[in-house]
Amino acid sequence: MRKWKILHQKTKEIIKVLLKNRGLKTKKEIEEFLNPPNPSNLEPKTLNIKTSELVKAVKRIKKAIKENESIVVYSDYDADGVCGAAILWETLNELGAKAMPYIPHRVEEGYGLSQKGIDFVKKEHGASLIITVDHGISSLEKVAYAKKQGIEVIVTDHHVPPKVPKVPKVPTIHTVDLCGAGVGWILAKELQKIPGIKGAKFRESESYLDLVAIATIADMVPLTGANRTLVKHGLEELNKQSFSSNQTKRIGLEALIKETGIKKGGIGVYEVSHILAPRLNAMGRMEHAMDSLRLLCTRNKERAYELARHLDRTNRERQRLMEETSFHAENLLIKHAAACQRGTKLIFLSHASYNQGIIGLVAGKLVEKFYRPAIIVSLGEEYSKASARSINGFNIIETIRKAQDLLVDAGGHPMAAGFTVETKKLPELEKRLMEIAEQELDSEKLTRVLKIDCEINL
């Protein structure tokens, strides 16, 4: 069943109706929506990024560069994190910094900072400074652990912070208005203003917009305001890849574009969201995201095409596994509903065979089909990992955090989240979340709404 909701029927002019229904009210908002301004004019304060935190971060990084400290760019393993890692790693190298990237393994280390990852970058790289990309806002214990190992941390993140601050007093560049790579790009822009760094040779900050656009689209950030500006100009940069012959061209992206059969100059939001981003994401889901980062940063043409083919093969395997798991999950859900002799307001499924890399996709598919929030759990012997997707009106990360006492960690957004839980606590967690859903989800929220801009009188 789907309920129709006709928006703003009284507005006469169709253009005004369309703009109003997209939350655009002022003349400035409308102008910037129709003609996105130059991204170089974006100011941190207008993006809800604290200037004081940026100043502290830049000061600490400048000190690290001058004293030849080892800096590690520690990113998430999705397309957003990988694009952000490429932006900051390349910027630091252009500044002459001693910098290396690090991306954790999804299964062996999990999301965000981990003791294993911190120990590795300390031992292998002698890191004294970690810059997080697309994570860190909920990492109180891990940041504290890093400090005990003599490693300072700068957090760059866009996820919803917990109500009780979970990050010690470290420079924290944060906004929910951008994707993770967008936050990283803001920091990169500020770093390029550092005076007195010998030998610094910069790409123009606009040359990173291709990566920001991919990340913004891949992370499904609303394409309004600053994000619309970044994506519009970023897609223009991306479409230059096949035509440009200058040194700033990303041959890895060019190889991926050709490998997937996208026509020259034909890259839009669809091509990024359905063709490029899934391949960049596939490595972090199925193997290791470092190969996606290598593709973005390589300057070797042969290596670029080799990596592009590898990403394409891995994505096909991801698609196969997702179809199998989705089929299994749907059958499990039907059996569970029949056993309970009633419908469920929250889908909560767990199985030992579920691959951690694709459970978020499976959750999303179940939400799309059944229009219920869905939590899919990859069962482990001691610990289990879960991904959740939601529907409008049901904040999934806040719901999960209501059971924080049962969790090892949790993070995410109102519509998508993830968590780790001790397997022995999973039954109690399921019971509690089901009770919350039963209380908060009514038939109104569980009815899919089709928003209609206006009626046409025939």
pLDDT digits (tens, 9 = 90+) for 253-291: 999 999 999 988 899 999 999 999 999 999 999 999 999
Tokens encoding 307: 């990596």
Residue 182 near residue 148, CB atoms below 8 Å: no
Residue 408 near residue 383, CB atoms below 8 Å: yes
pLDDT value at 202 more than 60 = no
Mean pLDDT across the chain, nearest whole number?
90
Predicted pLDDT of residue 4: 67
Domains 42-313 and 344-445 share a fold: no
Domain boundaries, the chain: 11-39, 42-313, 344-445
What are φ and ψ of residue 411, in 5° steps? -170, 165
Residue 409 near residue 420, CB atoms below 8 Å: yes
Mention every residue, 6+ apart, whose C-beta is less than 8 A from residue 385.
110, 356, 359, 377, 378, 418, 419, 420
Residue 87 near residue 211, CB atoms below 8 Å: yes
pLDDT value at 199 more than 60 = no
CATH number for 42-313 (one of 3.40.250.10, 3.90.1640.30, 3.50.30.40, 3.40.980.10): it is: 3.90.1640.30
pTM of the prediction? 0.89
Pure H helices in 159-224: 180-191, 209-218
Pure H helices in 22-98: 27-34, 51-66, 79-94
DSSP-based three-state secondary structure for 153 = strand
DSSP codes, 279-301: HHHHHHHHS-THHHHHHHH---H
pLDDT value at 348 more than 60 = yes
Q: Which of 399, 435, 434, 439 is nearest to 419 (CA)?
A: 399
pLDDT digits (tens, 9 = 90+) for 55-81: 999 999 999 999 999 999 999 999 999
In angstroms, rounded to a whole number, what is the distance separating the alpha carbons of residues 14 and 107?
50
In angstroms, rounded to a whole number, what is the distance separating the alpha carbons of residues 425 and 458?
59
* Residues composing the chain: 458
In angstroms, rounded to a whole number, what is the distance separating the alpha carbons of residues 147 and 2?
52
In angstroms, rounded to a whole number, what is the distance separating the alpha carbons of residues 220 and 360?
14
Residue 362 near residue 354, CB atoms below 8 Å: yes
Percent of the chain scoring above 70 in pLDDT: 91
Tokens encoding 299: 């300057």
Q: Which residues, listed in sequence order, are joined to residue 449 by a DSSP beta bridge? A: 3
- CATH 3.10.310.30 assigned to domain 344-445? The reply is yes
Predicted pLDDT of residue 98: 97
pLDDT value at 13 more than 80 = no
